[in-house]
Structure 1
Amino acid sequence: MRDLNYNHLRYFWAVAHEGSLTRAAERMHLSQSALSVQIQKLEHQMGHPLFERVGKRLVLTEAGKIALDYADTVFEAGEELMSTLRGRPVASRQVLRVGALTTLSRNFQLEFLRPLIGRSDVELIVRSGNMRDLIAQLEAHAIDVVLANSAAERDARSSLRNHLLDEQPVSLVGRPRRTAGPSAGAPENGAFDKGWAFRFPDDLATEPLLLPSLDSAIRVAFDRVLERHGIRPIILAEVDDMAMLRLLARERDGATLVPPIVVRDELESGVLVEFCRIPEVSETFYAIVQNRRFPNRLLDDLIPKIHGAGAR
C-alpha cells in the first residue's frame, strides 16, 4: 500500500478552500505551476481527478469532495494534536456557513438560526444570493446549508438533500382601514373602521395589490387563484425582495401578498392587519444540504432528523 503524501494533500486542501489556484499559490508562497504539479501528483496517487475546470472556476469532482472531507478532518485533528501537546486549550469555536436566498424572509432566517444565536462557541457566517450560485457554493463545500423557499432540483447522481422545514399560509395584509375623518373627510384622520372586512375573492378586483415578482412560487400560485375567479388585478408594485415588500406594505395603502411570518412584528404591533388567508396558496421553507461523510455537526441542532428519512 502506497503512503499518502501529506504535503500534496495540504496543497490540495488549500486550493479547495481558496477556490483558486492563484490565491492558494500566493498564500503558500509557491508558483502556480509548482502548485499545479503537486496536485497532479496527488491525483495520480489517488487514481482520480480532484478538480475540473468550469469556465474560469475550479470545481471539485466527486472524488475531490470526498478527499476534502477527509483532509478537513486530518488537518483539524493535526491542529488539535499540536495544541494539546503544547499545553494550549483546544479551540472549541465552531463555524456554520449558511447561504440564504436574497428574497427569503429575514424573520424565517432568524427563527432557523435562533438555537445557535448567542452561543459563544459558534460563529455564524450568512451569505445571500440566488439559488444557482448558492447551490454551486454548497457543492464546492464553501457553505454548509442553503435556505430556500423551493427544493433544489435533483437527479439520480445528485448528492443534494432537501429538508422541508416549514409550510406557512399566505395572506393579504395591509394598513388598518379608517372611517372618514372629522375634518376634510380624510380617512387618515378618522378612527379605525372595525366593521370593515375584506371580501374574498370579490375585493381582489378593486383592491390595489402589492405582489412578489413572477419568480416567486407564491405569486405563481396566487395568479392561478386570480385566473380561476376571472379577476384582473390592480397591481401597485411587483417586488422580488421580501424585505422591500414588507416596507411597502407599511407605507402604502392596498393589500400585500406575503406569508404572515414576513410581517409578524407589524401584525403583533397593529401597524398591519391580516385581511384574509389565500386558500390553496402556501410558502414552503427548505434547508438544502449535501450528503457528506463529515457533515457540520451544528446542523443537528437546526434540522430535525437530518440523518433520517425526512429528506428528499
Structure 2
Amino acid sequence: MLNYKQLHHFWTAARAGGIVRGAERSGLAPQTLSGQIAALETELGVSLFKRQGRNLALTESGRMVLDYAEEIFRLGSELEDALRSRAAGRAVPFRVGIADVVPKAIAWLLLAPSMDLPEPMRIVCREGKFDALLGELAIHKLDVVLADSPLPGNMDVRGYSHALGESTIGLYATPALAASLQGDFPACLDGAPLLLPGAEASVRAPLLRWVEAARMRPRIVGEFDDSALMRAFAEAGAGIFPSASLVGEQLCRQAGMVHLGDADGVTETYYAISVERRLTHPAVRAISEAAMASRQLGERNPS
C-alpha cells in the first residue's frame, strides 16, 4: 500500500526543487528526506529523480507521480477546509470560472443544481477569458471552469473536460428590426445587420459557415467577446444576434425579442473543466450528475 508520508516527502522535495531545499521546508535532515524518497522509489519500482549536472531533476515517472501527489494533497486540504466549514456552520465555497463567451442565462442553467444541495454552499463566480481562467484552475484558485469548448490540447494545463449538454442556435431581433426585414427566414438575413460573437467563441465559425451556405450576405455591424454585451446591443436594436435556443423563450418573454429562426445544424456544447478525472467537489458532482440525468438542458430551463 502506498506510504502517503513518503509521498508527501517526495512532493515537498519536488516542489522545492531538490533535496536540500525540501529538507529546509520539511524540517528534516537532507539524509532523512533522501532516505524517505528512496524508500518510496523502492516501493513504486521507479526512479523519481535523476542527476542533471549538479542538480536533481524529475524523471518522467517522477513528473507523473508529482501530478498525482498534487491532486491527492489538494483534495486533502479541501477535505479539511470543508469539514472545518461544516463544523462551524459556514457555507462551503464553490469557486467557478465562467468564460465570457458563455451566456449568463446558460451559466445559471448549468450551475442551478449546485444551489439545491443539502449542505450550505457559497458560490463564487469569476468571469474572464478562457485561457486566464484555465490558469487559475491549474493553481487551484477555481474548482471548475464553464466554457463552450473542451480543454485545448495545446495548453500546458492538466485537466479534464466534462460535457454538460448542448443547444441549437437561434437568431433573435427586436420587434422593430424584425418588422423591417424582407422575406422569410433565412432569406431575410440578406443585407440585415448582424451581431457576432468574438473569435474565441466556438459557435462563431459554424455560424459563419451556415450563413455562407445559405448564400446570405448580412452586414456584420459588431463583434463581441462578451455575450452579455452582445445581448445589450441586440436589445437596443443594433442588429440580429445569435443565442442558444435553450434561453430563447426567456429572451422573447423578458427582453421582448422576436425569434426569427434557427441556424440549421449549428449547435453549441457546454463543458465543465476540472483538474480531476473523478469529480469530488459536491457542487461539481451535482452539476455533472444533473447533466448526465438529462442531456437536454431545456428540462432545467427556469423560463
**Do they superpose with TM above 0.5?**
yes
Report what 1:70 is aligned to: 72
Partners in 2 of 1:262 and 1:145 — Cα distance?
Answer: 23
The aligned counterpart of 1:96 is 94
Q: Does 1:246 align with 2:242?
A: no
C-alpha distance in structure 2 between counterparts of 1:241 and 1:76, whole Å: 32
For 2:217, the equivalent position in structure 1 comes to 232
Going from structure 1 to structure 2, the CA distance change for 1:208 and 1:94 (only over 3 Å counts) comes to same
TM-score, normalized by length of structure 1?
A: 0.66
Q: Secondary structure at the match of 2:125?
A: strand
Deviations 1:219-250 (A, max 9, x none): 21121122223333211211111101111111
1:109 aligns with 2:107: yes
Residue 214, structure 1, aligned to residue 214, structure 2: no
Amino acid aligned to 2:139: A
**Alignment partner of 2:274: what SS?**
strand
The CA deviation at 1:306 is 8.9
Q: Which residue of 1 aligns with 2:133?
A: 134
CA 226–36 in structure 1, closer or farther in 2 if over 3 Å, else same: farther
What number of residue pairs does the alignment pair up?
Answer: 262
- Greater per-residue helix proportion: 2
Secondary structure in 2 aligned to 1:110? Answer: helix
Shift of 1:96: 1.9
Aligned mates of 1:176, 1:77 — CA distance in 2:
52
CA RMSD, 1 decimal: 4.4
| Counterpart residue number, 1:37 | 24
Contact 2:168–2:267 at 8 Å: present in 1 too? Answer: yes
2:45 alignment partner in structure 1:
none
For each residue in 1:142-182, what CA deviation from the matched residue of structure 2 results, as whole angstroms up to 9, or x when unmatched? 32211110111348x9853322212111111011138xxxx
- The offset of 1:76, in angstroms, is 6.4
Contiguous gaps of at least 5 residues in structure 2: 42-47, 50-61, 296-303
CA contact (8 A) 1:105 1:262 kept: no
Relative distance call for 1:61 and 1:37 in structure 2 (3 A) is farther
Name the SS of the counterpart of 1:214 in structure 2: coil
SS of 1:236's equivalent in the other structure is: strand
CA contact (8 A) 2:196 2:223 kept: yes
Alignment deviations for residues 183-211 of structure 1 (CA, whole Å, 9 cap, x no partner): xxxxxxxxx96x98852332222211112
Check whether the contact 1:97–1:143 (CA below 8 A) recurs between aligned residues: yes
- Output the amino acid matched with 1:298: A
TM-fit CA distance, 1:277 = 0.8
Q: Answer yes or no: is 1:260 the counterpart of 2:245.
A: yes
Structure 1 113/78 Cα, relative in aligned 2: closer, same or farther at 3 Å?
closer
Is residue 106–residue 262 contact of structure 1 (8 Å, CA) maintained in 2?
A: no
Shift of 1:278: 0.9
Residue 200, structure 1, aligned to residue 199, structure 2: no
Of 275, 297, 302, the residue aligned with 2:260 is: 275
* Counterparts of 1:116 and 1:74, CA distance in 2: 21
Stretch moving more, 255-264 or 67-76: 67-76
In the alignment, residue 267 of structure 2 is paired with which amino acid? S
The 1-side partners of 2:175 and 2:82 are apart by 59
The answer to whether 1:301 aligns with 2:300 is: no
**1:57 alignment partner in structure 2:** none
Q: Is the 8 A contact 1:154 1:160 kept in 2?
A: no
Aligned-partner Cα distance in 2 for 1:2–1:174: 62
Distance 1:94 1:3, change over 3 A: closer
